[in-house]
Amino acid sequence: MYTLMQKSGWGPCLAAVLFLFCFLLGLPSSALSQQGKIKTFDVPGAIYSFAQVINDEGVIAGYYTDAASVHGFVRDEDGVVTSFDPPGSTQTYPKSMNEDGAISGSYYDANNAVHGFVRSQRGKITTFDAQGAVNGTFPVSINEEGTIVGFYYDARFYVQAFVRYQGGTVRTINIPRAVFGGSAQGVNGEGKIAGQFDDGSGGQHGFVRDSHGTFDTFDVTSNDVVYVVGINDTGEIAGFYYPPNWYHGYVRDAQGVVTTFDAPGSDATLPTSINKGGAIAGYYFDPGFGAVHGFVRDAQGSINTFDAPDATVTATFPFSINREGTITGYYFTSTGGVHSFVRQR
């Protein structure tokens, strides 16, 4: 079993749907409350903008749509936005960024084939494909050393995990017990890789692979489907799982101890990012799957919830939290807008 991210990659208006079962130029606004200071922003000329990741320097990357296509953007700590696309791209989807400002993600070419890319802090873009990729290469995470992990589709349309080293070598990650493949979802500064895999019998489990190639697999409960969203430098892994009922969050420490959690009053809790200190950001659904709100869970387990400061907001989607606890993501409004935000504590 795989998330919609794995089945479809990235596409216009897809990012919100990805985590559900797994896009106005204007003046920024801000709001100060117990939930933190939130500033909203848009990419100049954009119709919709989707912030995806923030690094420890406060640089934000994501993608936006205009009248023609989907493009990548990077927003520096002063709020200056730069747009970019790999050569030949018709749609660009940045996904991850390291502390040096290198950005990885995927793009579609004119033939609708999907390839991976890495953009250096100075703007040089290198494209690549995983060996064995027939139906798309999807980078998910890049660490401080420039190692990239993600997944690709092989000729059977199975999802396979890959790692790309800084020199450009790309290798498939052969996960023990995986029958229908798996996905690498995070790589930390120590080179540890975390993700999930399918055992062929309907079960999906988490895995962590150290820099020497040794694997450890894990579950949250005895009968669940496990998703991984990231691993930090201390080896803590965050993600979500089900059943019982819908989705619940978890954090697994470096010793393998798993703690589960839910946002208060949540019908479904979906973490999206974990920072170096163990704080986790994500979103949750109201009972009856009504409005969607953001949350942040600190390393001690205390959870604060928040929404973007817009009277017409209907859904707030945090997607990345940095070392300082600053969060970025995007939100939907009842008038059809999609805008990005950055939240400081």
**Mean pLDDT of the 140-158 span:** 96
Q: Does domain 4-344 have CATH number 3.40.50.410?
A: no
Task: Identify residue 311 by its one-letter amino acid code.
Answer: A
Q: Are 252 and 260 in contact (CB under 8 A)?
A: no
Instruction: Kindly indicate the confidence band of residue 35, based on its pLDDT and cuts at 50, 70 and 90.
Output: low
Residue 116: predicted pLDDT: 98
Residues 305-333 pLDDT 10s:
999 999 899 999 999 999 999 999 999 99
What the block records as the tokens of 212 is 């020497």
Q: Are 269 and 287 in contact (CB under 8 A)?
A: no
pTM here?
0.90
Name the residue ranges covered by the structural domains of the chain.
Answer: 4-344
CB-based contact 192:214 (threshold 8 Å): no
C-alpha to C-alpha distance for 298 and 15, rounded to whole angstroms = 25
Distance between CA atoms of residues 111 and 80, nearest Å:
33
- Written as one letter, the residue type at 106 is S
Q: How far apart are the first and last CA of the chain?
A: 36
- Mean pLDDT (the chain) is 90
Check whether 6 has a pLDDT greater than 60: no
- Asked if the model's pLDDT at residue 24 lies above 50, the reply is no
Name every residue whose Cβ is closer than 8 Å to that of residue 176 and which is 6 or more positions away in sequence.
215, 217
The pLDDT-based confidence of 34 (bands split at 50, 70, 90) is low
Cα distance between residue 71 and residue 300, in whole Å:
38
| DSSP symbol at 280 | E
pLDDT tens, residue by residue, 154-171: 999 999 999 999 999 999
Residue 183, CB half-sphere, CA atoms under 13 Å: how many?
26
- The pLDDT, as a whole number, for residue 7 is 35
Around 216, how many Cα atoms within 13 Å sit in the side-chain half-sphere? Answer: 15
pLDDT of residue 10: 35
